[in-house]
Amino acid sequence: MTEFQKVAKLNELKDGEVKGVRVGREEIALYRLGDEVLATTDLCTHEYCVISENSNLEGEEVECTCHGSKFNIRSGENTLPPAAEALKVYKTKVEGEDVLVEVG
């Protein structure tokens, strides 16, 4: 069963930056774009580098700086090799100052 869980406060996320959080066994990268927060798995599908520690975010695209793979953070789609697989994308919502992610 999936459910939304609180993972951060909105003011903990800076616009245009990536923050890693752990929810149970899930490692999740949060991306703030203005008042919107998006979320993907925090491990690159190429060599499993931690995206929140090794990334460059430009608009809706994140680059894993370990080996240069790029992903669309809205769809998870891999947009530049060497990674060949997409990132898992999580549903998010903001309630007041709370950031929630659907996990399960």
- Measured between alpha carbons, how far apart are the two ends of the chain, in Å? 6
Which residue has tokens 């245009």? 16
Return d(Cα 9, Cα 75) in angstroms, integer. Answer: 23
| Stated pTM of the model | 0.94
Domains of the chain: 3-103 (2.102.10.10)
pLDDT in tens, 68-99: 999 999 999 999 999 999 999 999 999 999 99
User: Taking a C-beta distance cutoff of 8 angstroms, is the pair 41, 27 a contact?
Assistant: yes
